[in-house]
């Protein structure tokens, strides 16, 4: 790869090109926005818009010494930690009360995802770390830095649109994400993997369509 290509690739990943300001004898001048800061600001805007029991509550934000501070609702834990402690809390043979608790967690999680899709937002990074448990025991979603707002589609039949490739966590990423053309069903794929973990199913049945050992 040529050096110019390397620098161009770094530039495109680090900045969003807004406009070309001018051109001189040794180069060109562009107006840009740092991608990381843009993602943070986008997440803040989505939190302001999504004021609901299904999403972590946004309170206030401010910029100080070139840092963006966001004040949000305090949650007691996340689903990732709960899944790690589940085996010590529950016996291998699940009794009715234990199943009911897990069922309620998953039911509330599906309602959270449904709420996003009804508001024409694809989360694109659903995973146990981004599923929070509020002080009153409710399930809430967080981390909307990679989410995508799709304005020109039906909330229940989102058309396939082109997106950026830099999306989500590999362990929960749907295969079609690699094509850069997908819809809200990538969230359903991630949701199914989380559900398999909650209820103790083999996630490879979903990932490969077969048992890992086969």
DSSP code string of 94-146: --HHHHHHHHHHHHHHHHHHHHHHHTTEE-S---GGGEEEETTS-EEE---TT
Question: CB burial class (10 A; 0-12, 13-18, 19+) of residue 124?
Answer: buried
What pLDDT shows up at residue 169? 66
Give me the CATH topology for the region 75-207. Answer: Transferase(Phosphotransferase); domain 1 (1.10.510)
Which residue ranges make up each domain of the chain? 3-37, 75-207
Positive or negative, the CA dihedral 109, 145, 78, 51 is negative
What pLDDT shows up at residue 191? 95
Q: 84-91 long-range contacts, Cβ below 8 Å, gap at least 24?
A: none
Mean pLDDT, the chain, rounded, equals 76
What pLDDT shows up at residue 214? 47
Of the candidates 4, 77, 125, 129, the residue annotated as catalytic is 125
Going residue by residue through the chain, which has 214 residues, state the pLDDT in tens, using 9 for 90 and above: 444 444 455 556 556 677 776 665 556 777 766 655 666 666 667 777 778 899 999 888 877 887 778 888 999 999 999 888 876 555 555 667 788 888 999 999 999 999 999 988 899 899 999 999 999 999 999 988 888 888 755 555 555 555 555 555 678 888 877 777 788 889 999 999 999 999 888 888 777 654 444 4
Tell me: the pLDDT tens digits for 140-162? Answer: 999 888 888 887 555 555 555 55
The residues, ordered by sequence, that sit 6+ positions from 131 with a Cβ below 8 Å of its Cβ are 78, 79, 80, 109, 112, 139, 140, 141, 142, 194
What pLDDT shows up at residue 177? 75
Q: Model pTM?
A: 0.71
DSSP secondary structure code for residue 55 in this structure = B
Active site residue 129: no
What pLDDT shows up at residue 39? 64
Tell me: the pLDDT tens digits for 182-212? Answer: 888 899 999 999 999 998 888 887 776 544 4
């Amino acid at each position: 790869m040529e050096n110019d290509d390397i620098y161009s690739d770094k530039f495109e990943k680090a900045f969003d090109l807004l406009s070309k300001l001018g051109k001189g004898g040794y180069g060109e001048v562009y107006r840009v926005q740092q991608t990381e800061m843009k993602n943070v600001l986008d997440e803040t805007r989505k939190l302001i818009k999504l004021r609901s029991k299904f999403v972590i509550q946004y309170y206030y934000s401010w910029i100080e010494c070139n840092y963006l501070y966001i004040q949000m609702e305090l949650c007691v834990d996340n689903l990732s930690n709960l899944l790690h402690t589940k085996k010590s809390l529950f016996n291998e043979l699940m009794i009715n009360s234990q199943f009911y608790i897990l069922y309620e967690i998953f039911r509330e999680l599906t309602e959270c995802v449904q709420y996003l899709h009804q508001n024409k937002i694809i989360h694109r990074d659903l995973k146990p770390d981004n599923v929070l448990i509020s002080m009153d025991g409710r399930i809430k979603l967080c981390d909307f830095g990679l989410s995508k707002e799709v304005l020109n589609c039906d909330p229940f039949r989102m058309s396939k649109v082109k997106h950026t490739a830099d999306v989500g966590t590999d362990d929960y990423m749907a295969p079609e994400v690699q094509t850069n053309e997908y819809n809200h069903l990538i969230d359903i794929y991630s949701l199914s993997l989380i559900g398999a973990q909650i209820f103790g199913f083999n996630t490879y049945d979903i990932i490969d369509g077969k048992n890992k050992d086969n």
